[in-house]
Amino acid sequence: MTITLLLGACVILACILSGKVSQRFGVPTLLAFIVLGMVFGSDGLFKIPFDNYAFAENVSSAALVLIMFYGGFGTNWRAARPVAVKALLLSSLGVVLTAGLTGLFCHVVLGLPLLEGLLIGSVLGSTDAASVFSILRSKQLNLKYGTASLLEVESGSNDPFAYMMTVVLLAALRGERATPAGVAVMLVTQITVGVLTGIVTGVLSGVILRRSRLSSDSVGSIFVFAIAFLSYAAAGVLGGNGYLSAYLAGILLGNTRIPHKNNLVHFFDGVTSLTQMLLFFLLGLLSLPSRLPAVLPMACAVALFLTLVARPIACALLLTPLRCSLNQQLLISWAGLRGAASIVFAVTVTVSGLHLTGDLFHIVFAVVLLSIALQGSLLPLAARKTDMIDDSANVMKTFNDYVEETAVRFIQIRIQEGHPWAGQPVRALSLPPRILLVMVLRGAETLTPGGDTVLCAGDVAVLCGQGFEDERHIGLYEVSVSVDHPWADHRLYDLSLPQGELVVLIRRGEDTVIPSGQTHVRAGDVLVLNRDESRA
């Protein structure tokens, strides 16, 4: 057990360090995780034997659920709505066209049986959400015409369609007789049940989060974590597509007003970062680099056709009628990165036990390596060459965890009897420049104040101003005042504080006191002092 934990910790640390190194050289971080897994694997330097495809499928599927749920949860639907139709066309018909063209290429040019060729095309049909999100964020690709949102929605929603095609072709290769009508019914059921389950799960969980008072932010995070798996499993039990359900539940919940949403987004950002790291590492560990040279010619041919022919044709057929510019189509075509989802589906094919002509897992694995290495690394260059960079945009606004760079801070002031603001209209208050009274809490009522709003005793005035971000010179520390403490029963004015130190707050039981020089310090108080770190 100790050795396992030690190895796991070393792997995570190695992934983090390799990710930092890869970013410095402009290589997509997720590629570093795969390569690191290959280094640790049975053909690598550390010779860790691992060939349990069934275990890898279970772990990878669970990881993919979290990645897809977060793909929806973190997507700002307001920014995505204008391009939703284009994105959904690419994620559905685009996957079918890309997979079909790639499958025909594998059959006609590479000589694979038709169904095997179509199976490779289906496994590689979807673009990878983790890869796309990672590059858009890390490279700060601010793209024109809502292209970033389009790519996010497409990559987050196209895995279910690739998965359904993979399942249909696996059934056909097993010899299971299925009429076109039967296949159509299965696909409609998968989509309909997946959509309905995702909507119901997302809406109900949002209602529960709004109406229930969970004991802490951490409990809310655990609740949402469970919802991600519930949406997937419930759809699967009912015969629907679990990935589609998880993605839709994530979108609905992430774009609903719920308490502490930013905290939830940051929580899932950390969880999915770790998930992606371990997923790509596990898939790299599962591979056998010694088999890659044998499949590399076929993988290169498939990757080139997929990137330069199949994907561009699908984009052109679907986006040209919607009046997308040629430059936008070219960039969207190039941004069709293949990633973990394709390898996970290839693992599913391997677990099925079918005897195929080629080594499908390592063919797909090599294609993904080429896609992330070449397309991912060159995506920022492609955006510049196609003149798709928008200097006035901010790609982070397409994610739900975006906050304005100019942060504001809120403070509250309780208006008590005798307070100089009591009985005064807002227009008569002498507020410092760039400070705004934004809200008044009066009992259970919340008021948005105007100039003629009169403040009353018992009100809580909420003010906002620009936050101070440079914390280099701030050093807060606490002093607990006991009965025999020399500061007990003295005014702050009379204390001999070191130069550069100031009492900024007093915690007195459940109360918080903003002090003045006349404030008396009592036994039991906890004083919070600010030390000027520039004097240290």
More confident residue, 128 or 87: 87
Confidence at 128, pLDDT banded by 50, 70, 90: confident
Whether residue 89 is found in the same domain as residue 223: yes
The pLDDT value given to residue 404: 42
Whether residue 420 is found in the same domain as residue 391: no
Instruction: Determine contact, residues 462/456, Cβ cutoff 8 Å.
Output: no
Whole-angstrom Cα distance, residue 250 to residue 243?
A: 11
Residue 325 has pLDDT above 70, yes or no: yes
Whether residue 294 is found in the same domain as residue 440: no
The pLDDT value given to residue 455: 92
Whether residue 283 is found in the same domain as residue 264: yes
- The residues, ordered by sequence, that sit 6+ positions from 460 with a Cβ below 8 Å of its Cβ are 412, 413, 414, 415, 440, 441, 442
Give the position of tokens 């039981």: 509
Residue 535 has pLDDT above 60, yes or no: no
The residue out of 398, 416, 436 marking a domain boundary is: 398
Residue 214 has pLDDT above 50, yes or no: yes
Confidence at 324, pLDDT banded by 50, 70, 90: very high
Whether residue 89 is found in the same domain as residue 48: yes
Q: For the chain, how many structural domains are there in total?
A: 3
Q: Compute the half-sphere exposure of residue 394: CA atoms within 13 Å on the CB side of its CA.
A: 10
Residue 403 has pLDDT above 50, yes or no: no
The pLDDT value given to residue 405: 43
Whether residue 501 is found in the same domain as residue 377: no
403: left (phi over 0), alpha (psi -120 to 50) or beta: beta
More confident residue, 177 or 487: 487
The pLDDT value given to residue 228: 94
The residue out of 423, 448, 466 marking a domain boundary is: 466
Q: How confident is the model over 336-358, as a mean pLDDT?
A: 89
C-beta pairs of 369-372 under 8 Å, 24+ apart in sequence? 369/31, 369/34, 370/299, 370/300, 370/303, 371/303, 371/306, 371/307, 371/337, 371/338, 371/339, 372/28, 372/30, 372/31, 372/34, 372/131, 372/337, 372/338, 372/339
Asked whether residue 418 is domain-assigned, the answer is: yes
More confident residue, 410 or 439: 439
Confidence at 400, pLDDT banded by 50, 70, 90: low
Residue 402 has pLDDT above 50, yes or no: no
Whether residue 150 is found in the same domain as residue 255: yes
The pLDDT value given to residue 183: 80
What is the extent of the structural domain holding 417?
408-466
Among 263-267, 282-286, 382-386, the minimum mean pLDDT is found in 263-267
Q: Can you give the pTM of this predicted structure?
A: 0.75
Whole-angstrom Cα distance, residue 530 to residue 532?
A: 7
Helical segments of 82-179, H only: 84-108, 114-123, 129-138, 147-157, 159-173
Residue 299 has pLDDT above 80, yes or no: yes
Whether residue 69 is found in the same domain as residue 180: yes
Whether residue 320 is found in the same domain as residue 413: no
Whether residue 315 is found in the same domain as residue 376: yes
Asked whether residue 356 is domain-assigned, the answer is: yes
The residue out of 398, 422, 442 marking a domain boundary is: 398
Asked whether residue 403 is domain-assigned, the answer is: no
